[in-house]
Structure 1
Amino acid sequence: MPIRPTLLIALGLLSGLTPFAIDLYLPSLPAIARDLGSSIELAQLSVTVYLGVFALAQLFLGPLSDVLGRRKTIGGGLFLFLVAGLACMLAPSMDVLLAARAVQALGGAAVAVTVPALVRDLYEKDDYARIMGLVMLVMAMAPLIAPTLGSLIIGVASWRVVFLFLFAIALTTTVLFFRTVGETLHARHRHSFDPGQILRNYRRVIRHPLAMGYLLTGAASFAGMMTFIVSSPYVYIELHHLPATWFGLAFGSNVALGMLFSSLNARYVKRLGADRLLRLGILTQVTAAVIALSLALLGDTPLWAIAAVAALYLSMTGLVIGNSMAGFMAFFPKMAGTASAFAGAIRFGSGAAMGTLVSLVHDGSAAPLLIGMGASGLLAFAAFGIACRGFRTNRTPTKNGRVES
């Protein structure tokens, strides 16, 4: 099938919905807490509620797309995302906002987990890698521009307008999707829904220690990134009185650094190997983690120091997650859909757990942010140690996914 620009844009927008849903309203969190008569801790939980539901829903929705087809699964997800977006915009209380975010996450998960399978239906081998690379590039633009857009909106209008803007993005994506993409999974290729087989496949993944070492490395690294996403609006805007517009630019600069190193990773991974680059990323992040924990112990950390250690950590997140995911998926070529759904659930579940913990221990300082990032970096380093033991024993996947000793 030829690669059409409209298809790339549609797939990129679909993949970018969740980054927009998380990053667009980050500068609004303090304003949401004030307007709804709630606390910053509960406002931050609106991020982690989304992540938690998004993570768990993938375990069910991934296999479901093999039963219903891609168009119905994505269409249903878009409908839920749109309805919940309106509920967020009109929410009269924090309880309603949290419930609406949970429903929105369910819709976002249906979309996100189905896009890679849809692309796999249309393209094979090199074309698949090329298309997904381009889709990820479009998707990466969302966290780059979303906080800046959100800060500009909150500077001139209510936080409710931010959710109206998110609704407009989702509506545009929905129209473009239904006009551009047909059903890609033919009826003869669909599976019957067998919960028992799904559970057996997940058990296979869990019982593979080396693969889990890779997966937990990326998940812990992601948890550190989510710690920053959840906590940084308070630390930058409320604690250090950085204008919301400047917060958006500071946040976007970290995303730009991550994109830079991810592009360098794509350029040199064949020459240097994914495992060597993963090691470089983990060593950089554990260095940032040690610095972050030291700053937390010292107390009264200046904003420039927080920004510097965050930049060091976040610049490697894409590299670590990408290469650890490659290592993980190499063991499951015959059950890639299940493995991908499981990986997404663990990654976003880890982010939700760390984000929730950071919100619960909020003490009016930057310490929860620094400690959360520091702990995540150390956990990623420890998980990578599991993978390293696999390297030393020469346990590597063969072409059919089995492990040779």
Structure 2
Amino acid sequence: MSLTAVRPRLRTDRAPQTPTHGADRPRRSVVLLVFILGVLSATSSLATDLYLPAFPQIAADLNAPESQIQLTLTAVMVGLALGQLIIGPLSDQLGRRKPLLVGIGVFTATSLLCMVVQTAEMFSVVRFVQGLAAAAGMVISRAVVRDTFDGDSAAKFFSRLVLLVGLAPMLGPLLGGQLLLIGPWQLIFAVLGAAGLAGFGLVFFGLPESLPVHQRVRQDPKQMVRHFLRLVADPRFIGPTLTMALSFAMTFTYISAFSFVSQEEFGATPQQFSLIFGINTLGMILGNQLNAALIGKMHTTRRLLIGLLGAVASVALLLGMHLAGHTSLVAVTAVLFVMMFCTGLISPNATTLAIVSQPSSSAGSASALLGTLQFAIGGTLASAAGLHGGTTMTSMVLVMLVTGLAATGAFALTAARGHAK
């Protein structure tokens, strides 16, 4: 069945700001929508995860310290944060397809530019632009879901989407490690460019516009600022958003630091690191599937709280093991697996609470602010693990514990109050 054949089925005729519940949509169209949005979001994840096994090689090739190579990851995070803040409101004004196609095109071009950089500084600049472009896939995917689904239907769709997106951080480092066996680290960015081209084709042929013209909102910069301030002041939105951002900082600290920790402190090879990373990401996918099974049986806020408490407890256990001198690569992997399992309960529920609290006409802006805070806070706090004396097991676990506790505190102070009504 061709992609174009199902395009009319994805269109909906809705009253303003009234998304469908998704129950009456043909199953094939839902599966196709999950696949397309999953590929778009996964490509953005690949931009951060695919080159992780190559960190030591890139540092040696560009004659740069480890901390500077880690900053290229932070550059992508900052780009993703700012890009969502720009592209989200644009998609509320122009529709979803046009900004998405432009973003994918720029992402593809910058992926190829990464292959020819000569310095770590230039690498960081190109990666920043790449992050700006990759933001289109992430922010618009969430907005399309809000255009199309509501309530538990949205939570179920986000769970399906996270399942597919979760394959990227699981398979990304595994693929990156294998690519290093057959070529230099530049080959990784050639693969990213090919993924960008594939995403462009999927959107062009298979993703119709989900935001009708009569629902689009045109705002001048002052109106946009006021709208963002309103979102920040809304506890129903800002509570789960801060919870998401701070828990992402915990997870991203592990993502950005464990390549160095596993290879330099535990003697793992790039391929072994990739395997461990994939195993731990499988934990997140399994947690996500548990979350999907609990939908309709347990309230969203309770599922989120269970995920937060489990993740923080796991990191606290890891710190205790490290201080007691009882760590090994197998033991650390086991504890991190449990932590990632718990994050599978955090991401879809925090995202659902934040996005569904807002009307469809402002879903792009809400998704943009959520993503901006997620990557700005997450990327900035995670970089603290490598600021003093390089990245170590101690610095990684301490930053993870502090950010995990902060996420739980944000949930307790704001999200619970906003959704307990």
TM-score (norm 2): 0.86
Q: CA deviation at 1:126?
A: 7.5
> Paired residue for 2:277?
251
**1:166 corresponds to which residue?**
192
Q: 221, 231, 240: which is aligned to 1:195?
A: 221
Q: Which residue in 1 is equivalent to 2:53?
A: 27
Describe the shift of the 1:241–1:254 C-alpha distance in structure 2 as closer, same or farther (beyond 3 A): same
Distance, in Å, in 1 between the alignment partners of 2:86 and 2:322 is 39
In structure 2, what is the Cα distance between the partners aligned to 1:269 and 1:175? 33
Deviations 1:33-58 (A, max 9, x none): 00010011111111111011101221
Q: Is the 8 A contact 2:385 2:396 kept in 1?
A: yes
Shift of 1:362: 4.4
State the alpha-carbon separation in 2 of the partners of residues 342 and 103 from structure 1: 19
Deviation at 1:158, TM superposition (A): 0.3
**Corresponding residue to 2:79 among 32, 39, 53:** 53
Question: Match for 1:354 among 370, 381, 386?
Answer: 381
- Report the counterpart of residue 337 of structure 1 in structure 2: 364
Deviation, 1:85, is 0.5
Letter aligned with residue 114 of structure 1: I
* Aligned match for 1:371, one of 378, 398, 403: 398
1:171-216 CA deviation, whole Å, 9 max, x = no partner? 1221232222344444444332322222122112222346433322
Question: Is the contact made by 1:27 and 1:150 (CA closer than 8 Å) also made in structure 2?
Answer: yes
SS in 2 for 1:276: helix
Query: Aligned with 2:63: secondary structure?
Result: coil
Q: Does 1:180 align with 2:206?
A: yes
CA distance in 2 between counterparts of 1:131 and 1:385 reads 26
Aligned pairs for 1:4-403 (under 5 A) are 4=29, 7-121=33-147, 132-209=158-235, 211-295=237-321, 297-298=323-324, 301-333=327-359, 335-363=362-390, 365-387=392-414, 390=417, 396=419
Runs of 5+ unmatched residues, structure 1: 398-403
Q: Which amino acid counterpart does residue 369 of structure 1 have in structure 2?
A: M
SS in 1 for 2:295: helix
| Structure 1 letter corresponding to 2:320 | S
The amino acid that maps onto 2:131 is A
- Cα pair 2:155 2:352 within 8 Å, conserved: no
Deviation at 1:389, TM superposition (A): 6.4
After TM superposition, give the deviation of residue 96 of structure 1 in Å: 1.4
Per the alignment, in what secondary structure is the counterpart of residue 271 of structure 1?
coil
Q: Which moved more, 1:174-183 or 1:294-303?
A: 294-303
Confirm or deny: 8 A CA contact 2:152 2:295 kept in the other structure: no
For 1:224 and 1:146, the matched residues in 2 are separated by 19
**Post-superposition CA distance 1:112-136 (Å, at most 9, x none):** 2112333555667777666554433
Aligned to 1:400: none
Question: Residues 215 and 135 of structure 1: is their aligned pair in 2 closer, same or farther, counting only changes over 3 Å?
Answer: closer
CA distance, structure 1, for counterparts of residue 103 and residue 306 of structure 2: 38
The 8 Å contact of residues 23 and 146 in structure 1, kept in 2 or not, is answered as: yes
Q: C-alpha deviations, 1:343-391, integer Å up to 9, x for none?
A: 111111121112222232343531111111111122122223214762x
State how far apart, in whole Å, the 2-side matches of 1:42 and 1:65 are.
Answer: 34
Mapped to 1, the partners of 2:174 and 2:156 lie a distance apart of 29
Q: C-alpha separation between the residues in 2 aligned to 1:191 and 1:332?
A: 14
Q: CA shift at 1:298, angstroms? A: 4.7
Contact in 2 for aligned 1:362/1:368 (Cα 8 Å) = no
CA distance in structure 2 between the partners assigned to 1:151 and 1:365 by the alignment: 22
Question: Is the 8 Å Cα contact of residues 146 and 356 (structure 2) preserved in structure 1?
Answer: no
Distance in structure 1 (CA, Å) of the matches to 2:153 and 2:316: 41
Q: What is the distance in 2 between the residues matched to 1:386 and 1:164? A: 45
Mean CA deviation greater in 241-250 or 357-366: 357-366
Superposed displacement of residue 290, structure 1: 2.2
TM norm structure 1: 0.89
CA contact (8 A) 1:36 1:94 kept: yes
Shift in CA distance, 378/185, structure 1 to aligned 2, threshold 3 Å: closer
The SS at the match of 2:296 is: helix
Contact 1:292/1:374, CA 8 A, preserved across alignment = no
Identity %: 32
Matched residue type, 2:121? D
Q: Is the 8 A contact 2:92 2:364 kept in 1?
A: no
Q: Offset of 1:295 from its aligned partner?
A: 4.4
Offset of residue 154 of structure 1: 0.8
